[in-house]
Structure 1
Amino acid sequence: MARRAIDVLQTALAAVRPPPRLVDWSIFVLVCFEAISGLVSFTVGSVAWWPLFWAHRIAGLALLVFVGFKLVRVRHRLTNSDQWRPSTLLSGLTVLAVFGALATGIVWVFGLDIRLSRWTLLSVHVGFGLVLVPLMLWHLTTRFRLPRSHDFDRRRTVLQYTALLIGATLVYRGQEFATQLLDGPGSDRRFTGSQPREGAGNESFPVTSWVADDPDPVELSDWTLSVRGAVETPLELQYHDLSPTTTQQALLDCTSGWYTVQQWRGLRVGDVLEAAGVDEKSRFVRFVSVTGYRWSLPIDEARDAVLATHVGGERLTHGHGAPLRLVAPGRRGFQWVKWVDRVDVRYRDDPAQWLVTLISGFD
C-alpha cells in the first residue's frame, strides 16, 4: 500500500514537472520575484496591498516545489564526491540560502516567535533572501543555459504551471484556515505577517532601529525643532515651546515582524505647517532625525500625521524616539522617523532618502 502511494505521488509529480531548463529558469524568476516583492512589502502597510503579501507567500511555496525538482535531478552531483567541481560549493551555498529563506518564512507564517539574539525569524528570513540573490546570479553564470523551443509545449506548460500555482495557493490558504480555526500561533497576525504586541506605553512594544541608527539620548536643553523650506515663516521651537494638542490612535507595524496599537499624543503636523505658512506650490514634507535619517510624505498625508511626544499616556523614552517621533498611520515602522529635529517643506520628493536609510548611523 505504501509503495503504491509513493508510485502514485511520483507519477503525479512527473506530470507537473516542467523540463529541466524551465525548472532552472522558474527558480530564477521566483527568487527575483520574492526579492522584489519582499522589499516592496517593507514599504507598504495599508490593507489594500494584501495581494502582494499573498503572492509573496504563494510564490515561496511554488519555489519550494521547483527546488525539490532541481535537487532530485542533480542529487547525484551533490552526493557523489567524484563529481564535485569548484562550482559545487557555490551550488551548496545557494541551496542552503534557499532552504534558510524558505524554512524561516514558513516557520514565521505558522506564528512561532523564535528569536536569534536580537533578530526575529522574519529578520533572519530577510537576511537569507538578501544573500540568496547574489548567490543565485553567481550560480547562474556557471551554468547559463537559455530555454530551447522544444522545452515548451504551450498547452502542457500552461497546465503544469497552473496546477503548481493552484496547489501552492491551496496549501497556503489551508494553513491560514487551519490556524484561524484552531486559534493557534499566528492566528492574530496582520496581513503583513507581523505579530501583535499588547499593552500601552513605552514598555509594551520593542525598541528597534532601522539598520544602524542608534544615537545618544537627546539633550533637551540643546534640542530645537526647525521648520523650514517652502514656508513664509521658518520656525525654531524649543522643547518647552511644544504644547501637545492632539491624540491619535494609530497602528505601528514594524518590519522586524510585530505591530502595536497605541494612543499617540503630540503636535498635529498640519498645525505646525499652518503656523509656518506653507507655500501653496509645495508638495512634500520631509522629516529629518538628529542622525540625518529622513523620510518624506506627500503634503496632504503629512498634514494628518503627528509629531508625538507621548505614547500610551507616557512621555516617549529615548529608544522610542524622544523628544519627537513621527506617527504616520498606514506607513511601516521604518518610515516613522525617530528623534525628529527638522521638518522641511519641499516642492519635490527626496529619492535620496532610500540611500540614507541604509547608511544613517554608520560613522
Structure 2
Amino acid sequence: METEEASLARRAADAVSPPPRLVDWSLLAVVVLEVVTGFVSFTVGSPSGWPLFWLHRILGLTFVALLGFKLARVRHRLTRPSEWRASTAVSVLTLLATLGALATGIAWVFGLDVRLAYWTLLSVHVGFGLVLVPLLAWHLRSRFRLPRRRDFEGRRTTLRYAGLLLGGAVAYRSQELTNRVLDTPGRDRRFTGSQPREGSGNGSFPVTSWVADDPDPVDRSAWTLTVAGEVETPLEYGYDALDPERSEAVSTADKEALLDCTSGWYTVQRWRGVRVGDLLDAAGVRGDARFVRFVSVTGYRWSLPVDEARDALLATHVGEERLSHGHGAPIRLVAPGRRGFQWVKWVERVEVRRRNDPAQWLVTLVSGFE
C-alpha cells in the first residue's frame, strides 16, 4: 500500500513530468543530440565555440531529469523479478550504460583524473555515450509506442520542457561555482572540458595517438618532407635542412601554442620549426589552390585552408627539446585553434590542393591498420 509521502512524491513528479511517451522519445532525442554535439565539439578548439559545449552539458543534465521520470514510472518492473521479460535485459543494459555515462561525465567536471588502462574518464564517457544510441533505440523498439498528438498539446508541456532546460543550465552554472568555491581540480578545465598539463618539453604532456596510429620510430637520416601538388616547384627536404640547430636552407620560427587533446587534457608549449608559409612561398603556390593537406607516414592526414596553413608550424622541437617519437618526430603539425587530432604527427608530405578532402574523416579511423 502506498504511503502518504510516496503518494505526494508521485503526484509531484506527475505534475512536472511530460507525458510518458514523450519522455521515452525525448530520452532518445537527447542521446542523439549529445552524440552529435559531442562529435562536433571534437573539431572545435577556438573559444568562440563555447555555446556548443554549453548545449552538450545542459542537455546532459536535462537527461538526468528525464531519466528520473522514466525510472519513477517503471521502477516496479525492475524491482519485481516476476515481471521481468526478455526486453528487461535490454532495459538494464541501457540503464547501466546511462549511469556509466552520467557518472564519468560528472566525475570529470569535478576534476577527477584517473585512467582506466589507456583511457581517461572523458574517453570512457564518450564510449558510454556511443553505446547508448543503439541500446536506447533497441529498448524503444521493444516497447515501440509513437507519441500521440495530445502529448504535444497544451502550454503545460512547453513549460515543462522549458523548465527542464532552464534547470539544466542552472545546475551547470552551480557546478562551475562549486568548483571555484571548493577549489577542486575541475576549476582549471578549459571550455572544452580539458584539464591542464603543466611543464615544458616532451615529458610534460601525454603521448596519445588517434585510433590505430602507432608507427615504428622514423629514421631521421632516411626521412624526407615533400611539398607538392598545386605548386610551381615541388620541393623535398631532408631532416637536416629543417632542423633549427643545423639548417641554413630555411628560416626557423618559434610559436607558443595551446594543444587541446580530445582525450581530455591541454598544454601550452613553445614549439620550434619551420613556418608552413615559408615552405609554400618557396614552392610557389598556384592561384587556384585553396587547401593544404598534411600527410603522416601512417597515411593519416588533415587539411587546412591555405591562409590558415600559412600561419601553422611544422615543429621539430617542443620546449628546448627535439620532439620525441611519441610526440610526432621527426616533424609534426602545430595548428593553433585546432584540436589535437588535427595536429598531424610524423608528417612526410605537404600537399597543396584545389579542393578539400572529405575522405580525411574516414582515414582518421583506418590509418595505422595494416
TM-score range, shorter chain: over 0.9
Which residue of structure 1 aligns with residue 55 of structure 2?
55
Shift of 1:154: 2.5
Q: Are 1:149 and 2:135 an aligned pair?
A: no
Gaps of 5+ in 1: none
Which residue of structure 1 aligns with residue 39 of structure 2?
39
Q: Which residue of 303, 316, 332 corresponds with 1:325?
A: 332
Which residue of structure 2 aligns with residue 284 of structure 1?
291
Which residue of structure 2 aligns with residue 14 of structure 1?
14
Contact 2:230–2:289 at 8 Å: present in 1 too? yes
Which residue of structure 1 aligns with residue 248 of structure 2?
none
Which residue of structure 1 aligns with residue 202 of structure 2?
202
Shift of 1:105: 0.5
Contact 1:16–1:164 at 8 Å: present in 2 too? no
**CA distance 1:205–1:39, change in 2 (3 Å):** same
Partner Cα distance (1:24, 1:356) in 2:
36
Q: Are 1:242 and 2:242 an aligned pair?
A: yes
What one-letter code is carried by the residue in structure 1 that aligns with 2:353? R
Shift of 1:26: 0.7
Which residue of structure 2 aligns with residue 293 of structure 1?
300
1:236-275 equivalences in 2 (<5 Å): 236-244=236-244, 245-275=252-282
Shift of 1:9: 5.6
Q: Are 1:133 and 2:140 an aligned pair?
A: no
Aligned residues: 361
SS at match of 1:221: coil
SS at match of 1:156: helix
User: Normalising by structure 1, what TM-score?
Assistant: 0.96
Shift of 1:13: 2.9
**CA distance 1:185–1:9, change in 2 (3 Å):** farther
Moved more, 136-145 or 352-361: 136-145
Q: Which residue of 309, 313, 334 corresponds with 2:316?
A: 309
Which residue of structure 2 aligns with residue 71 of structure 1?
71
Which residue of structure 1 aligns with residue 360 of structure 2?
353
What one-letter code is carried by the residue in structure 1 that aligns with 2:130? L
Shift of 1:12: 3.9
What one-letter code is carried by the residue in structure 1 that aligns with 2:240? H
User: Normalising by structure 2, what TM-score?
Assistant: 0.95
SS at match of 2:231: coil
**CA distance 1:59–1:200, change in 2 (3 Å):** same
SS at match of 2:293: strand
Contact 2:24–2:140 at 8 Å: present in 1 too? no
What one-letter code is carried by the residue in structure 1 that aligns with 2:297? V
What one-letter code is carried by the residue in structure 2 that aligns with 1:296? S
Partner Cα distance (1:138, 1:21) in 2:
16
**CA distance 1:123–1:68, change in 2 (3 Å):** same
Shift of 1:129: 0.8
1:100-115 equivalences in 2 (<5 Å): 100-115=100-115
Partner Cα distance (1:54, 1:7) in 2:
36
Partner Cα distance (1:138, 1:171) in 2:
30
Contact 1:15–1:160 at 8 Å: present in 2 too? no
Gaps of 5+ in 2: 245-251
